[in-house]
Structure 1
Amino acid sequence: MVVLGDLLPLAVGVAISPIPIVVAILMILSKNASAATAGFATGWTGGILLATVVFAVLAAAIGLSADAAPGAGAAWARIVLGLLLLAVALVQWRRRADTAPPGWMRSVDSLTAGKAVLLGAALAAVNPKNLLLCVSAGVAVGASGSAMGVQIVAVVVFTVLAAASVLGVVAGYAVAADRLRGVLDRSRAWLEANNHVVMAMMLLVMGAVVLGKGIGGL
């Protein structure tokens, strides 16, 4: 399944996003851990799925295709997305000295399950960094020219892999809460301190991959 080869690096890019992992850890360590983490994981996974499906449908609807004639449209779409990812990578690198967590993280401790769902969805489908990766995945699926069944499988695989980091943190803590508390707290501190550097490196690689595929399709 060729389209999965295009989706795997994008899924990894979403999965290693530091902020959602930090938020999941903060929720695990909060007073409303059980309901909040379940809600956040649901919103995160649903947001990735929704954004990817929407842009896959749009890519197919406007005629982007990997076929010979309209293939230039898909190629230019990938070039634009690749350049945007590289631009965001540059912004993240310039902010690398800022190690302070976002102000809204202070309210994570008191989030209800419903608000956690909305936060998860927002970080997946509204946050520009992750949205660009989901858009790139949606375009890759919608422009693949594959059968509907193949596209559905591709979207599901992408969603599961992209959500795996947050789901893994939540599931791991549910199974071994006491043993993982110290590890998660140290991981949170490291991710907060290196958030912008991690994002810059990840977006640089993803942007180069998407841009290269776009150029290669012209």
Structure 2
Amino acid sequence: MGHAVGDVLGLAAGVAVSPLPIVAIILLLATPRGRLNGSLFACGWLLGLALLGASMLAVGGSGGASANKHPAAWVGVLKLVLGVLLALFAVRQWRRRPADAAQARLPKWMSVLDRLTPLKALGLGLLLSAANAKNAPLTLAAGASISSAGIPVPQQIGTLVVFVVIASLGVLAPPAVFLAMGERAQGVLGTWRDRAVRHNAAVMAALFFVLGLKLLGDGIGILAS
């Protein structure tokens, strides 16, 4: 199980660094129903990653992801495809970055966060984790790595749990600060929010590129061995 966890740690860290979801939960915490909606957003995030990862484990189990404790060829092809997608996303994100980081603006959908119902807050967390252009490929790649590691199903599930927890640290940090510091957290979270907004495009482009190269390397390694 240890080597499987090692394989997905970098992918989990890539998911954890998600500026806009972090901004979203910070803004939710500042609303009248902040504690409830923030908690439900975090639950939705965890649920989205867990469901997406579990679906990949199921596909890997039925599709023979591991042959003699070696990843099957289709796992290598999948990682190549996901790597190419992330590299393309990196180029697009870099081209769309603002010329001046200080001019970066929040997406329009964030203007309605103060009016979200608890159910919609849960759905938003699920959507931003499982349907995100960065998180979905990385979670699928992590599921493929786990299912092809040649370890028993209980250990696969344990490895997925480790992945989900680490991948959620960025989103779980603001609620933890909010609960620990109360009203004093507003200043700290406000600083986090402003920095995340300003540097979102550059951070995302760099992550897309680096993690895309990692998946490309993994895919080539599997197909060449």
Superimposed CA distance per residue, residues 130-163 of structure 1 (whole angstroms, 9 cap, x where no aligned partner): 1111111111112222111110110000000011
Q: 1:167 aligns with which of 155, 167, 172?
A: 172
| Deviation at residue 100 of structure 1 after TM alignment | 2.0
For the pair 1:59 / 2:54, whether they are aligned, the reply is: no
Q: Find the counterpart in structure 2 of residue 156 from structure 1.
A: 161
- For 1:101-180, list aligned pairs within 5 A: 101-180=106-185
TM (normalized to structure 1)?
0.94
Alignment check: 8 A CA contact 2:44 2:123 kept? yes
TM-align CA RMSD? 1.6
Residue 104 of structure 2: aligned partner: 99
| Structure 2 residue 91 is the aligned partner of structure 1 residue 90 | yes
CA separation of 1:75/1:180 partners in 2, compared to 1, >3 Å: closer, same or farther? same
Which secondary structure state, in structure 1, belongs to the residue aligned with residue 151 of structure 2?
Answer: coil
Taking structure 1 as reference, are residues 83 and 180 closer, same or farther at Cα in structure 2, changes over 3 Å only? same
Higher mean C-alpha deviation, range 80-89 or range 153-162: 80-89
C-alpha deviation, 1:207, in angstroms: 1.1
Of the three residues 181, 184, 191, the one matched with 1:186 is: 191
Shift, 1:108, TM fit:
0.5
Q: Distance in 2 between matches of 1:8 and 1:66?
A: 23
Question: How many pairs align?
Answer: 218
Indicate the SS of the match to 1:144: coil
1:38 equivalent in structure 2: 39
**Pair 1:70–1:8, CA change in 2 (3 A):** closer
Amino acid at match of 1:137: A
Aligned residue number for residue 12 of structure 2 = 11
Whether contact under 8 Å (2:84, 2:212) holds in the other structure is yes
Note closer, same or farther for the CA distance 1:69–1:202 as it changes in structure 2 (3 Å cut): closer
- Give the Cα–Cα distance (whole angstroms) in 1 for the partners of residues 150 and 78 of structure 2: 15
Structure 2 partner of 1:72: 73
Counterpart selection for 2:218 from 204, 213, 216: 213
Distance 1:132 1:58 in 2: 15
Long gaps (5+) in structure 2: none
